[in-house]
């Protein structure tokens, strides 16, 4: 999660403490939308160094959901 918080801080300019809170909020939200058996995959992805890839995919998905033109 530290890597995700750092990425949030870099991309948004938030101080580290606020970026950490934002990261935890995002992770908790994502886990709440997944079946319980899948929530562990979120932790695995975050702890395996895949944050940049996951963040890029999430950005693309969320951008599409909110009408970003590609």
Report CA-CA distances (Å) from 1 to 4, 5, 17, 55: 5, 6, 12, 12
User: Residue holding tokens 């801080």?
Assistant: 9
pLDDT at 15 over 80: yes
Mean pLDDT over each residue of the chain, to the nearest integer: 78
19 touches 5 (CB < 8 A): yes
pLDDT tens for 30-44 read: 888 888 877 777 777
Question: Where is pLDDT greater, at 50 or 42?
Answer: 42
């Amino acid at each position: 999660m530290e890597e995700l918080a750092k990425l949030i801080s870099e991309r948004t300019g938030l101080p580290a403490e606020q970026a950490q809170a934002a990261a935890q909020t995002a992770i908790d939200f994502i886990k709440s939308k997944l079946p319980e058996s899948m929530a562990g995959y979120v932790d695995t992805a975050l702890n395996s160094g895949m944050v940049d890839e996951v963040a890029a995919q999430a950005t693309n998905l969320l951008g599409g959901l909110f009408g970003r033109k590609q």
